[in-house]
Structure 1
């Protein structure tokens, strides 16, 4: 069987050190995503998104840095994780995305927080929350085919604090300079002598933790002064000058900047003097950069167009590019990108995106990428003709476990829902000769973790969360029109509302009308004093674009209106399934008694519950599925049993228990799926997946049900799904395990022999598979399998053969 990746989406870790853009050759951006590392080429014209995901760490990846190899044919990637380890990955140019783990270092006693490297040097430095820095030397041959690592020194930070930022620079031919900051308001400067670093100066002035440090030369010349930028939680960036010689540098005129007001009097220009092996140096305060309104997370330098520029990102939702005014020497913010966070509604679900955690320059310095709270990347590219930074399409992804996925009824788009409290819609942007997958709508932004989802029609879905009730959503006209225009998904938009929003302090999405750009906003006639909430107004032009929506649109304007709430369950919703004719919805909740482990049915016309609820299980029902003609409803649960309910002959909505097997598996049953067609004698077939590491295939005929085949796996089987049609006279089904492996199986309806092909480990998630769903119809001869996993990824695999 030929299995290839069609699409991968995974959200990035919110850690300022957890991403790096390779300026040394490959042009890839690597970022920590849960306990993996995702590789993405932001400047790829075809917008293919995440290319591959590297697995190896057992806990969240906190630090990712490309090692400067000086070679265009080899890339080396360093990663540090909460599992206390540092891993070294190597890729050769011939297989650009085939990074192999070649070394693992486990000297630190706690989570790794930062990794610093230096172009032209084999030294790199790691910091960890055990309050230590370790200085390493990479020993390698010219093409990095042999790599070893030597530990040169361990520095115990005194006073003890967690290093959150490390910057390394070449001081002169014989010495390196190292700046360290973290969970104190001081910056410590270390200087090396004979490869051993010793404390040379302690810089004070900041009033909060130091989040970012970065060195650069003031000009392109190697003998110009070093500048150090330090960014802090006190909302300020300070610049420091490292100057050679006994003489102090000329005092910065920026200190007398009238804009500093009272602050100017308290700024100290005390000189800190130290020596390297060959020369004397001083560190003096150079400038204070004011402008951010909240914690600053990253700062990075770049010589661009003959000017020295500093890129900073902040919790205030902005990304700033600073440069020095050539006449006065005062540092000013020349470009500010992002959002105005002070606007009304900024703290609601539809408001602020919660700050920018990472800011990175592209290799050519003409693009910047930034990571926000929602795990999504934003990107801006400088357009010289307009002299402005234009936003470009970037990638998005869930930031926590993906709990459920569902294709729309016709398979035109994929819905996913997650413990990050969002539901997302993925579809294929079709243009010219190319196509690529993107997030086109975020129908639900919720206050509870979302657990399950299913499509009712092509423009309606239902989701269940940790809040004991289910919600039904209808597609708004703005989203339907956009999907028609960009993805060629046709829809009838006659009776659809324009858009939706979440009222302040609410959880229910309300339908709203889009307003023309020139039309005034209607005041509330019932209350003269009530001001109009800007978040409740959507202008028609905001929903009209010719590319997949940017993160600010997704987070604010592309919700779906909620049309119904379904009550009845006493605990968190665990499973939901819609009948194939769309007339019934079956639901279940978490339970530890027979009274709560019931299955409730709701008819979709009036949304009334069909009484009485169905009883069979004594513990949580983990999965529900209707047979393809809706005659039977199959349920499985944590009590190790499966049950089959049959529709009564006199009512389309009434089901009664037909058969159950209290010992279907020896451990809890986690998923089940019906085969698409009946056998020669009218028998029906279904599969169950259990924690006992097996998939069992059952044949139901009359009142008897027999296990006809068993597929064994290496770990607990957490998901199973049949493709809904025969393929070359055979049934095709997929199963997923607790270790993230996916198996694709073929079996003839006679159930004599099951053929199994395991998907390549590189294409599989790093954590348990939560749900598998087949796209209802084949695409270009390929079957497509949607995979949801606990590693926060949503994947689509092409299956051929």
Structure 2
């Protein structure tokens, strides 16, 4: 199989304040157990560039260590699996990072990592209450280079690490944040903060650190520390910013010499008089390399209303004015702080995010849960933040307007992705999962560029979502842990957005509902009006909501809200792209486990989790009046894991944890009732996890995937089923999907496993014997269980063929395969042409 590539991957960021960094042109951040690489400046991609897999636990700390001199970029990541991993690339201009080292010295989760710019020194802090000081080096030729650096031409496999020191923190605290600074005279200082209200300062002496001072004043845990040089002069002071759960940021001045610097402006600020002794300007002294440094309290920054998770300085080599500080808080805001040029008082000059009146803390579409991370771009003209929903928001500074404007970020699921469904015409992809959201992805097409983005968030739920399927192009159904199913219709606002951005036309546009919203404390998306801006504004001002025909501000949305020329931002996605709920389907007694819609959209089959035959029934609903077709289909004794109608809708296939499969057939040609047609009580030796029908041209053929590490292919003939092929897998087979059409006279079957392995099998058209297999490279497949595989429909709704040049930049003859995984990712792979050679018997 040639030319298989990753077209799109999306995933949400981990809510860990230390789990992201921005250096050069890349952002590296933790995404479940992976490290995601995102290049915000690359507008040809809508998601992350790559996911680096290796960790077995959630990634909790990420730092980038760039070496321009040696043209290498190192990513150092720490995880809840107690390990630290080092990744690097051959050239800093490429995102192709490779794993080169794993460190297993810590005995608990890694909480924080600090790196020293222009050096290969880094420090890790762990929940085992220890700090470890490391040095990157090269083991080439059995020795390290004289200047203690890594040569530019060194083999990546020869990169090594040296443990210089282990520090047991006393008094005992769990480190949550670390910061390193390198003074111009060679002195190195390490700041440590964590589950204490004090900050510990360590000074390096002969390659070892010792505790030199403890800074007090905060009244909560320390969540972020960062150093910056105040100016470019050699004798410049350094500033340390500390952010705490007490909602305040403290600035500390580090001054060379035993003589104290001029009195801090904070002491004379009358607004801070109520803080009393907490503003004590007691001097602490550090000694290193024969030099003495004083550490004094500089300023108290007040403005956030909740915990502050990160505080980052802007580092600019040509920055001549005083530095700027970016803080991210649980109050849903980013703040930029600068010192006034005249008075020296520190003040908030810019605030980004959400204002209090927009939070809506009790609504599903309101509060984002705060910002957990805030980062500066290396040039200082962009900032990004990570929120509760896993999305990265991005702002750019426009000098001509002297203001910050929001621009396109990225988003993704933050928990296991359980199910996928393509629109009937392949125009968009729906995904749903344990983060209780359903998301819609489509291609934004402009200027001969196509990139995938989240265009709508149809469902924000209060229960984990388990399954989804499209009934028509404008309607889908999803099942969750709440024991019922919900049917949603595409709103006109989203249809307009898809038409404008993605070139998706809709002939039924005029019959669609206008928009949707979730009432406070509600779970059902309700239809709301889409009114002109001036009409809604006039109603609000004049109080005319009770007048005949007046728009109710509580059930209306401005038409201009989604009048966009770009994919929606996160706040738009969470509030204004919901789909209104059309119907609820009741009947099951447990959590919904599987759902399938017939190809003609007339029927829906559903099942729920079960431990007995009474609950393991399959219920059928007709979609015209949403009436249940009784009696339900009784067959399985345990949870049904997958349901699927055959291409002609004449038969329904079900597989379950009881190791059986059943095929139900229509009782009459145009009937909506089904009866058992064929079954196999011993189809596999362990539970069956997925199934798929072959293309109609092959006949009545289907495949089943099992935990017994096999995929069996069955042919139905006169009510009997024969296993015509059995394909072994390296681990439990969890997902399978036949390509819906014959390709080059052969049948393609995609198989996903519990370990994230993806295999494309080529089968003979007549015998269905394996003619060739292709194992997709591990760098572009998930690192955890593949839950579902879905091929993109090969034809438009109007019958025109899809594929080839239909997708900008896609190779001719390629087909796209979507993957859902437990690693929180949704991926779209382009499977290129294959040369199939018949294996000799």
TM-score of the superposed pair, with normalisation by structure 2 = 0.92
TM-fit CA distance, 1:254:
2.6
Alignment partner for residue 506 of structure 1, among 522, 531, 556?
522
Structure 2 residue 740 is matched with structure 1 residue 748: no
Structure 2 residue 787 is matched with structure 1 residue 770: yes
TM-fit CA distance, 1:94:
8.1
TM-fit CA distance, 1:255:
2.3
Structure 2 residue 689 is matched with structure 1 residue 670: yes
Alignment partner for residue 623 of structure 1, among 623, 642, 650?
642
SS at match of 1:65: strand
SS at match of 1:724: coil
Deviates more, 1:519-528 or 1:772-781: 519-528
TM-fit CA distance, 1:280:
1.6
Q: 1:611 maps to which residue?
A: 630
Q: 1:66 maps to which residue?
A: 64
Structure 2 residue 474 is matched with structure 1 residue 459: yes
Alignment partner for residue 73 of structure 2, among 72, 75, 82?
75
SS at match of 1:394: strand
Structure 2 residue 292 is matched with structure 1 residue 292: no
Tell me how large the CA RMSD over aligned residues is. Answer: 1.9
Structure 2 residue 35 is matched with structure 1 residue 16: no
SS at match of 1:398: coil
TM-fit CA distance, 1:235:
0.6
Q: 2:6 maps to which residue?
A: 5
Structure 2 residue 811 is matched with structure 1 residue 783: no
TM-fit CA distance, 1:750:
1.5
Q: 2:290 maps to which residue?
A: 278
- Mapped to 2, the partners of 1:676 and 1:162 lie a distance apart of 58
Taking the TM superposition and a 5 Å limit, the aligned residue runs for 1:93-172 are 93=91, 96-140=94-138, 141-143=150-152, 144-145=154-155, 146-171=158-183
- Mapped to 1, the partners of 2:88 and 2:358 lie a distance apart of 46
Question: 5+ unaligned residues in a row in structure 2: which ranges?
Answer: 139-149, 795-801, 805-812, 834-841
TM-fit CA distance, 1:744:
0.9
Structure 2 residue 616 is matched with structure 1 residue 592: no
Kindly tell me: are residues 299 and 624 of structure 1, through their superposed partners in 2, closer, same or farther at Cα, counting changes over 3 Å? same
Alignment partner for residue 731 of structure 1, among 723, 742, 747?
747
Taking the TM superposition and a 5 Å limit, the aligned residue runs for 1:169-318 are 169-171=181-183, 173-263=185-275, 266-303=278-315, 305-307=319-321, 308-318=323-333
Structure 2 residue 602 is matched with structure 1 residue 583: yes
Q: Is the 8 A contact 1:502 1:509 kept in 2?
A: yes
Kindly tell me: are residues 652 and 71 of structure 1, through their superposed partners in 2, closer, same or farther at Cα, counting changes over 3 Å? farther
SS at match of 1:462: strand
State how many pairs are aligned. 793
Deviates more, 1:148-157 or 1:785-794: 148-157
Kindly tell me: are residues 54 and 390 of structure 1, through their superposed partners in 2, closer, same or farther at Cα, counting changes over 3 Å? same
Q: Is the 8 A contact 2:529 2:555 kept in 1?
A: no
SS at match of 2:453: strand
Per-residue Cα deviation, 1:615-652 (whole angstroms, up to 9, x for no partner): 11000000000011111000000000000100011652
- Mapped to 2, the partners of 1:746 and 1:543 lie a distance apart of 44
SS at match of 2:197: strand
Deviates more, 1:169-178 or 1:459-468: 169-178
Q: 2:440 maps to which residue?
A: 425
TM-fit CA distance, 1:342:
4.4
Alignment partner for residue 731 of structure 2, among 705, 715, 732?
715
Kindly tell me: are residues 48 and 123 of structure 1, through their superposed partners in 2, closer, same or farther at Cα, counting changes over 3 Å? same
SS at match of 1:180: strand
TM-fit CA distance, 1:533:
9.2
SS at match of 1:556: helix
SS at match of 2:499: helix
Q: 1:392 maps to which residue?
A: 407
- Mapped to 2, the partners of 1:752 and 1:537 lie a distance apart of 56
- Mapped to 2, the partners of 1:720 and 1:268 lie a distance apart of 66
Q: Is the 8 A contact 1:255 1:264 kept in 2?
A: no
Q: Is the 8 A contact 1:345 1:535 kept in 2?
A: no
Deviates more, 1:582-591 or 1:116-125: 116-125
Q: Is the 8 A contact 1:68 1:118 kept in 2?
A: no
SS at match of 2:501: helix
- Mapped to 2, the partners of 1:158 and 1:443 lie a distance apart of 51
Q: 1:446 maps to which residue?
A: 461
- Mapped to 1, the partners of 2:137 and 2:762 lie a distance apart of 49
Alignment partner for residue 639 of structure 1, among 658, 673, 681?
658
SS at match of 1:391: strand
Structure 2 residue 810 is matched with structure 1 residue 792: no
SS at match of 1:126: strand
Q: Is the 8 A contact 1:72 1:93 kept in 2?
A: no
Structure 2 residue 448 is matched with structure 1 residue 416: no
Per-residue Cα deviation, 1:150-185 (whole angstroms, up to 9, x for no partner): 111111111111101111112453421111000111
TM-fit CA distance, 1:274:
3.0
TM-fit CA distance, 1:49:
2.4
Taking the TM superposition and a 5 Å limit, the aligned residue runs for 1:534-545 are 536-545=555-564
Q: Is the 8 A contact 1:174 1:193 kept in 2?
A: no
- Mapped to 2, the partners of 1:788 and 1:533 lie a distance apart of 40
SS at match of 2:335: strand
- Mapped to 1, the partners of 2:555 and 2:380 lie a distance apart of 38
- Mapped to 1, the partners of 2:712 and 2:766 lie a distance apart of 15
Q: Is the 8 A contact 2:359 2:367 kept in 1?
A: no
- Mapped to 2, the partners of 1:34 and 1:483 lie a distance apart of 30
SS at match of 1:185: coil
Kindly tell me: are residues 18 and 480 of structure 1, through their superposed partners in 2, closer, same or farther at Cα, counting changes over 3 Å? same
- Mapped to 2, the partners of 1:458 and 1:123 lie a distance apart of 55
- Mapped to 1, the partners of 2:288 and 2:617 lie a distance apart of 75
Structure 2 residue 505 is matched with structure 1 residue 490: yes
Deviates more, 1:277-286 or 1:560-569: 277-286
Q: Is the 8 A contact 1:698 1:705 kept in 2?
A: yes
Kindly tell me: are residues 671 and 342 of structure 1, through their superposed partners in 2, closer, same or farther at Cα, counting changes over 3 Å? same
SS at match of 2:494: helix
TM-fit CA distance, 1:463:
0.2
Q: 1:31 maps to which residue?
A: 29
Per-residue Cα deviation, 1:207-235 (whole angstroms, up to 9, x for no partner): 11100000111112232111100000111
Q: 2:386 maps to which residue?
A: 371
- Mapped to 1, the partners of 2:700 and 2:609 lie a distance apart of 29
- Mapped to 2, the partners of 1:244 and 1:534 lie a distance apart of 60
SS at match of 2:500: helix
SS at match of 1:49: coil
Q: 2:417 maps to which residue?
A: 402
TM-fit CA distance, 1:752:
4.7
SS at match of 1:494: helix
Q: Is the 8 A contact 1:256 1:264 kept in 2?
A: no
TM-fit CA distance, 1:264:
5.6
TM-fit CA distance, 1:534:
6.4
Per-residue Cα deviation, 1:349-404 (whole angstroms, up to 9, x for no partner): 11111111111111211111111111111111111111111111111110000000
Alignment partner for residue 774 of structure 2, among 735, 751, 757?
757
- Mapped to 1, the partners of 2:448 and 2:768 lie a distance apart of 44
TM-fit CA distance, 1:749:
2.5
Q: Is the 8 A contact 2:66 2:72 kept in 1?
A: no
TM-score of the superposed pair, with normalisation by structure 1 = 0.96
- Mapped to 2, the partners of 1:750 and 1:284 lie a distance apart of 82
SS at match of 2:684: coil
- Mapped to 2, the partners of 1:751 and 1:37 lie a distance apart of 43
Structure 2 residue 387 is matched with structure 1 residue 355: no
